[in-house]
Structure 1
Amino acid sequence: MTASPEGERQAQYFFIRRPVLAGVLSLIITMMGLLAIRLLPISRYPQITPPAIQVIAVYPGATAQDVAEAVAAPIEQQLSGLQGLLYYTSANASDGTMTLSIYFDVKRNQDLAAVDVQNAVQLASPQLPAAVRQNGISIIKANTDILGVVALTSTDPRYDAAYLTNYMKLYVEDELKSVPGIGNATTFGGLQFSMLIQLDPDKMAQLGITVNDVADAVREQNATNPAGRLGREPAPPATELTIPVTTVGRLQTPDEFNDIVVRAEPNASVVRVRDVGRAVLGSQNYDFVGRLNGRPTALALLYLRTGANALRAREAVARRVAELSKNFPRGVTASVPFDTTPFVKASIREVVITLLEALLLVALVVFVFLQSWRATLIPMLAVPVSVIGTFLGLNALGLSINVLTLFALVLAIGIVVDDAIVVIENVERIMATEKLPARQAADRGIQQVAPALVAIVLSLVAVFVPVAFTGGVTGALFRQFAITIAISVVLSGIVALTLTPALCALLLKEATESHTRGPFGVFNRLFDRGRNTYVRNVERVLRRPRAGLAAFAVVIVLTVLLWRQVPVSFIPTEDKGYFAVAIQLPDASSLQRTEAVVQRVEGFLRQEPAVRNIVALAGLDILSRSSQTNSAVVFVNVAPWEERGKRDALNAITQRLSGRLFGMKDAIGFAFNLPEIPGLGATSGVEGYLQDRSGRPVSLYASELQQFVQAANQLPAVGGLQANFRASVPQLFVRVDREAAKSMGVQLGDLFGTLQALLSTLYINDFNLYGRTYRVQAEAQAQFRQTPADIGRLYVRGANHAMIPLSAVTRTEFRAAPTLLTRFNGFTSALVTGTPKPGRSSGEMMAQLDGLIRTRFASEGLTLAYSGQSYQERTSRGAAGAVMTLGLIIVFLVLAAQYESWSLPFAVLLGVPFGVLGAYLGVWLRGQPSDIYVQVGLITVVGLSAKNAILIVEFANSLRSQGVPLLQAATLAARDRLRPILMTSLAFIFGVSPLLFAGGAGAASRHSIGTTVFFGMVVATGIAIVFIPLFFRLIQGAAERGSAPRESSRAER
């Protein structure tokens, strides 16, 4: 409801009479904002990654099928119904490991989610194999916000990868964890120390020793044995000493383990570990090989703590690594070869530069219109107060400085000057037309525009505030942007009602004749001519309402057509300054063979002059996040953006590299961008799981999967789709003759245990070294586990202690089976990843894949479930429309309360489609998809379109209340409000124009949001303001005819 004139007069007189107080309030807001900047965390994106919990279990010696059925399935069955659960996926590998990843809604507390998962695992524990429980089940709160990688390398050949990995684990990892801002540091790979009891099956058979005999001896003799104290209480009188008693405890050296007695005979013959093998200090496993720029290395992944400042954390890591380096062995050096913060720093720097450019362009536009440095200074002072003061609000609400909040501030520069421009333009108009001094003109001017200012502020806030209540990742992204805009708009309204009228009274001079010569004279003449043309067009539309409504209908139709025509995407792909290369060799390839291919790929990369660091991990399948000896991943950092030309843009580098990779005959490799938002999937393209809900055999499912991939790659929008599932990997199947085994007195448990221990590893117990606890494991020496025939030469104890070779009770045969079995939401699945063709969007690709499933594969029991970034894109579809609809409803209610009318707000809201048309037209012309930044821009355009309409409708309604005829009121409002509308709109349009032509880090997102708001406001300013007077006349006229038809008719006459 509009405040009374007396209330407005009293409030404005107060700040005009107390200009120092108005200035002090603005200074306090600015100073508090500056202090808040130092406290706010800085990152590329806010904390928007869905919380994830990982469950890791090991079933030594088991196949992928065994792990999926015996380990993954029982745990997954307990996950149903967990609060906030989105989906879960398990990777079950042939090395016996299961990695179950469980993803929750972004609003779910990760600590509480971890407790829920732990309870689910406890419920499933009785159903799990004993070997799995013995090895332990790890439940990890996954941190996906990778800050970088610390590497240890050495020029001294004595310090191999195993030494460096353990040195990292012992002396570096914990130090990195204690760095402020670091959430976790994890040494990659399994090369940490382990005491390996490497057994000789031939010697064991000769001496009648089994694996269980050795394991029992180690457990007995490598144990902590507390003995007590002499003289402990209660003790006899006069006891003078209390002496602790110690005895042999855990062993530490290989010699001590070699001396363990496995068997002692009455005749004094003794069999020790060294008689049936040897104990060596080795590594827990050798599944991964780390390399940095072609040299073996130890790698530690650094994760950013939630809410931490990424840039400060990176600087603190550099200082800590420099301190630690002083104590490294000679020849060992540390570096940070993979670092995500340069992209964060460069993105923020580019946005800040854009922000300064916008500020200068806005100042130029304001100066051209006001044609006085004094007058220009007044609205420009509103910018630092509103923009810097916004950081105070961000800090109070627990938000961060990121690209979204900075984008919001870039747009806010063109918005926050609006309120001040409206005030000063009206004050100058009164000074010129009524010849009043500045003080009186300021008082009268603020009274006239205060209701419009309140309506504008409330309407803009009403558009953005509902965004804060949307859920999911999309809602989290929207929330940062919307709250930033809302805070700046509120502050600009406060400044316009306090500081601006005070400055007008102090700084503005007496009205002088308008400029008639020079550049300003040319501008004024052009403006007057343009205003006359505009008024004539308004009158023409007012006289032909049917034609105007027909034109408006065309706008609606075009908007819908463009909305359907523009492809949909989630988030634009950026040149982040780093990328990855996935490498896959033929099935069953050894790790040594994979490492040789990695070296060739490193050679390809060194041919690119822009490549700086190459971090390689042989043995890791990045897509499934599992250990695979025939897979590898390479992470590549390139030169900074300012040092690279168009030829060395990230897309150009990956395209050239992919051409070389496709030429490899013994491996498949492809380069790809990592996800735009860390933690949302493995790649930046389309990602999903093809689920088999019919329970068919794996071989039949693999055939259907191959047909799906082939058909998908023929779709118009699909640039390339691949699946990481193969069911025909060679495996050696050991068939046990149970009757023969039982007839020879062989226990089947001993037989299978022997296979597991000698062909895999048997975890026995632990030992201590360097103040840490490591595993003691038994395994066969390498030469006894190379060929299928070696299995037959293993022995197991039978009846009468006879040693029976496995060749007597087993047969071996090669079979085809998967080395990795993936499950998604409890169903056998395969991860499929791909990218759309150039000019096509991920939304188009997903729509076509869905259509393919419906028409050809749904009847076969196959479904496609999206994950990662694609899941968020699918679930966020329609979120922007719902948010805009809710925003428009709240704007309508605010305006209804402001005007005390249910009909008049429609005159404002009918101007919104013009801005939406312009936004979609710009996006379509530039060949961009409708991504999340476009949706954010659309919300901004909706608010600003309503703002322009409010300026006309508010003034027209005021004239109408004074008795001015309806048609004349609409025309006069359009004429008198044109100047402030053009000033505010052009200030915004020129302010966001640098976003259209942005380069460097984060350019794609700036192009997306810049295109939307630029073209949207051009159309909203150039076309919509011609139709707003018509909407006012029709709606207000209809309202008056409905309430008082006779009075309305007389007014019209």
Structure 2
Amino acid sequence: MVNKLIELSLRNRLIVVILAIGLLVWGIFNIQRNPVDAIPDLSENQVIVFTEWMGQSPQIIEDQVTYPLVSNLQGVPKVKNIRGTSMFGMSFVYVVFDDDVDVYWARTRVLERLSYAQRLLPQGVTPTLGPDGTGVGHIFWYHLDAPKMDLGEQRALQDWYVKFALQTVPGVAEVASFGGFEKQYQLVIDPVKLQFYNLSMMDVMNKVKANNNDVGGRKFEMSNMAYIIRGLGYIKNKEDIESIALGNNNGIPVRVKDIGTVQMGPDLRLGIFDANGEGEVVGGIVVMRYGENADKVINDVKKKMGDVQKGLPEGVGFKIDYDRSELIEAAIANIKGKLIEEISIVCIIVIVFLLHWRSALSIIIQIPITIAISFILLNAFGLSSNIMSLTGIALAIGVIVDNGIIMSENAYRNLSEWQNSQPPNQPS
């Protein structure tokens, strides 16, 4: 079989050359399309359901949120396993699907089932899907370099400007903010005054909530002109909150400032983010979308950060804490270096020992064609270029070189023996 294949190739050398060139071009096209990452994605094919119910104990979260969700998600098709975790104020449900299931099909099925499970949860509790990323999706970390801004202002800048801008980058699933203080209006109530005016905490909560709202009206026509009437009631500063009426005492309105004080303060924090022991910072974590090219997404994020930098206040900049593209570029540079080294060694060995440049050329041509074909197979099986796959290709190059040298030497020896066996007067 092998002899016939060799004989067929020798008789149709033009066809073999055309096929080799076609595979090389096809492989180069696949190299450009193949996703590049530093580490292989070995995480499970899962969809995360996150539910927040602040102020509730883990046992209540388990009984009223986690258990109903896990019970109703059991019927989703192609589910391999479901795991639930309950903690203070939060619930996480991990729905693990079979490996061959498309991640967006899985998210659609889970979302359909959540619309049914919503009626079983307490009022005001809404489960949401986590970002469509994977366990290795954290590809880029940064923080703001703003020594003249306090942590609250930095967090507001991150949440309301930087985060929204970076989320528009193709391939980014989420930009998670960390550090600093989230600003909020805080109402400090005096319980003695609350009892004196015969009010409850729920009365205060409901009145404040009801007075932070715009009210829609209807169209009013006058003098051939139409006017839209609406009531503006959104809170803009703490003075607006202090002026909200909670009730009346002998015909005199009781306002928020009569039963307590309003202040601007930070939300409750469960931790801090410190940079190299030099103090707290504010920044974000860029999460890559499932199946995207990590190297391309990181480069696009850096380019977008350059545009965002123009709109930041004076003296504010970015500092990068983690950049996976450095590891990616190092892995790519490693295989390029090995490729050049092995091609050089092949040239030296074959030319020095055989004194035949065509034999060296035949071996050198095999290396790029074989690498190109390997990327065709990587794309066919949905695998990315990472440390594992590139290391395998680098090791395979050595095998290709060894086989090429052995085959060239064997062919050279057989041709030499055949020529020496011919009669002197017979042309070779």
TM range (shorter): 0.7 to 0.9
Q: Counterpart in 1 of 2:424?
A: none
Q: Secondary structure at the match of 2:328?
A: helix
Kept after mapping to 1: 8 A contact 2:78/2:97: yes
Q: Which residue of the partner structure matches residue 292 of structure 1?
A: 275
Residues 182 and 304 of structure 1 are in contact (CA less than 8 Å); yes or no, is this contact kept in structure 2?
yes
Distance 1:333 1:230 in 2: 50
Q: Which residue of 1 aligns with 2:178?
A: 188
- 2:166 aligned to 172, 176, 179, which one? 176
Which residue of 2 is the match for residue 67 of structure 1? 61
Q: Kindly indicate whether the alpha-carbon contact (under 8 Å) linking 1:57 and 1:137 is maintained by their aligned counterparts in 2.
A: yes
Q: 1:230 aligns with which of 188, 195, 220?
A: 220
Residues 505-558 of structure 1: per-residue CA shift (max 9 Å, x gap): xxxxx98xxxxxxxxxxxxxxxxxxxxxxxxxxxxxxxxxxxxxxxxxxxxxxx
Find 2:100's aligned residue among 95, 107, 116: 107
Name the structure where helix makes up a greater proportion of residues: 1
- Report the CA distance between 1:276 and its aligned residue: 1.4
Against the structure 1 CA distance between its residues 142 and 394, is the aligned structure 2 distance closer, same or farther, given a 3 Å change threshold? closer
Q: Deviations over 1:548-590 (max 9, x none)?
A: xxxxxxxxxxxxxxxxxxxxxxxxxxxxxxxxxxxxxxxxxxx
Query: CA 1:250 to 1:436, structure 2 compared with 1: closer, same or farther past 3 Å?
Result: farther
- CA shift, 1:262, in A, is 0.2
Q: CA deviation at 1:168?
A: 0.6
Question: Aligned partners of 2:239, 2:192: CA distance in 1, in Å?
Answer: 22
Q: Indicate the residue corresponding to 1:45 in structure 2.
A: 39
* CA displacement 1:953-1000 (0-9 Å, x = unmatched): xxxxxxxxxxxxxxxxxxxxxxxxxxxxxxxxxxxxxxxxxxxxxxxx
Render the CA deviation track for 1:363-398: whole Å, top value 9, x for unaligned: 555557645333233222222222234435545665
Report percent identity of matched pairs: 21
Distance in 2 of aligned mates of 1:75 and 1:395:
37
Root-mean-square deviation (Å) = 3.3
Structure 1 residues not aligned, in runs of 5+: 233-238, 438-509, 512-1053
1:39 and 1:308 map into 2 onto residues whose CA distance is 11
Aligned pair partner of 2:27 in 25, 33, 41: 33
Residue pairs, 1:398-797, within 5 angstroms: 398-417=382-401, 424-425=408-409, 427-435=411-419
- The corresponding residue for 2:230 is 246
Partner residue, 2:247: 263
Q: The residue matched to 1:296 in structure 2 has which SS? A: coil
CA gap of 1:115–1:30, structure 2 versus 1, over 3 A, is: closer
Structure 2 Cα separation of the partners of residues 40 and 149 of structure 1: 24
**Contact 1:226–1:247 (CA under 8 A) maintained in structure 2:** yes
The one-letter code of the counterpart of 1:101 is Y
| Contact 1:152 1:297 (8 Å CA) reproduced | yes
Which amino acid letter does the alignment assign opposite residue 30 of structure 1? L
Q: List 4+ stretches of structure 1 deviating above 6 A.
A: none
Match of 1:315 among 290, 299, 307: 299
Query: 1:56 aligned to 2:61?
Result: no
* Paired residue secondary structure (2:142): strand
1:92 maps to amino acid: S
2:175 alignment partner, SS class: strand
Distance in 1 between residues matched to 2:204 and 2:8, nearest whole Å: 95
Cα 1:321–1:11 shift into 2, 3 Å? closer
Deviations 1:700-746 (A, max 9, x none): xxxxxxxxxxxxxxxxxxxxxxxxxxxxxxxxxxxxxxxxxxxxxxx
Separation in 2 of the partners of 1:381 and 1:190?
57
1:275 to partner: Cα distance = 1.1
Residue 226 (structure 1) shift = 0.6
Residues paired across the two proteins, number: 420
Match of 2:257 among 259, 262, 274: 274
Amino acid at match of 1:141: P
Give the TM-score normalised by structure 2: 0.85
Does the 8 Å CA contact 1:230/1:245 hold for their aligned counterparts?
Answer: yes
The alignment status of 1:155 with 2:139, answered yes or no, reads: no
Q: Secondary structure at the match of 2:216?
A: coil
Task: Kindly indicate whether the alpha-carbon contact (under 8 Å) linking 1:48 and 1:106 is maintained by their aligned counterparts in 2.
Answer: no
Q: SS of the residue aligned with 1:345?
A: helix
SS at match of 1:242: strand
Structure 2 residue identity aligned to 1:13: R
* Deviation digits for residues 212-261 of structure 1 (CA, Å, limit 9, x no counterpart): 111221233222211111129xxxxxx62112112233222211111110
Indicate how the Cα distance of structure 1 residues 330 and 283 shifts in structure 2: closer, same or farther if over 3 A, else same. same
For residue 364 of structure 2, what is the aligned residue in structure 1? 380
Larger radius of gyration: 1
Q: CA deviation at 1:208?
A: 1.5
TM score, norm. by length of structure 1: 0.37
Q: What is the CA deviation profile of residues 266-319 of structure 1, one whole-angstrom value per residue up to 9, with x for unaligned ones?
A: x43110011112333444443332232322221211012333332333233223
Task: Flag the structure with more relative contact order, 1 or 2, with Cα contacts below 8 A and sequence separation at least 6.
Answer: 2
Q: Secondary structure at the match of 1:334?
A: strand
Superposition deviation, residue 155 in structure 1: 1.3
Inter-partner Cα distance in structure 2 for 1:3 and 1:151: 61
Task: State the alpha-carbon separation in 2 of the partners of residues 177 and 67 from structure 1.
Answer: 31
Distance 2:46 2:264 in 1: 36
- Mapped to 1, the partners of 2:340 and 2:273 lie a distance apart of 44
Structure 1 counterpart SS, 2:305: helix
The 5 A counterparts of 1:874-953 are none
Q: Closer, same or farther in 2 for the Cα pair 1:268/1:231, shift >3 Å?
A: same
Measure, in 1, the Cα distance between the counterparts of 2:297 and 2:359: 44
Residues 323-358 of structure 1: CA deviation (Å, up to 9, x unaligned) = 322322233322111223323332333344334444
Equivalent residue for 1:138? 128
After superposition, residues 758-907 of structure 1 pair within 5 angstroms as: none
* Counterpart-to-counterpart distance in 2, 1:135 and 1:273: 28
Question: Taking structure 1 as reference, are residues 380 and 220 closer, same or farther at Cα in structure 2, changes over 3 Å only?
Answer: closer
User: SS of the counterpart of 2:327?
Assistant: helix
Query: Counterpart amino acid of 1:112?
Result: W
Partner amino acid for 1:155? P
Return the letter of the residue paired with 2:224: E
Whether the aligned pair in 2 keeps the contact of 1:153 and 1:333 (CA below 8 Å) is yes
1 CA distance for matches of 2:151 and 2:178?
11
SS in 2 for 1:42: coil
CA contact (8 A) 2:49 2:127 kept: yes
Q: Distance in 1 between matches of 2:127 and 2:179?
A: 18
Return 5+ residue gaps in structure 2 as ranges. 422-426
2 CA distance for matches of 1:103 and 1:141?
Answer: 15
> Are residues 1:210 and 2:200 paired?
yes
2:11 aligned residue: 13
Equivalent-residue separation in structure 1 for 2:3 and 2:325 (angstroms): 54
The Cα of 1:432 is off from its aligned counterpart by 2.0
Distance 2:8 2:102 in 1: 49
1:129 to 2:113 alignment: no
Residues 411 and 362 (structure 1), Cα distance of their counterparts in 2 relative to 1, 3 Å cut:
farther
Cα distance in structure 2, aligned partners of 1:88 and 1:171: 37
Whole-Å Cα distance in 2 between the matches of residues 10 and 68 of structure 1?
A: 70
The 2-side partners of 1:188 and 1:436 are apart by 79
1:8–1:52: structure 2 CA closer, same or farther, 3 Å change rule?
closer
Cα pair distance change 1:263/1:77, threshold 3 Å: same
Which whole-Å CA distance do the structure 1 matches of 2:86 and 2:293 have between them? 36
Change in 2 beyond 3 A, CA 1:193/1:111: farther
- Whichever residue aligns with residue 185 of structure 2, its letter is M
Q: Which residue of 1 aligns with 2:210?
A: 220
Query: Residue type matched to 1:75 in 2?
Result: L
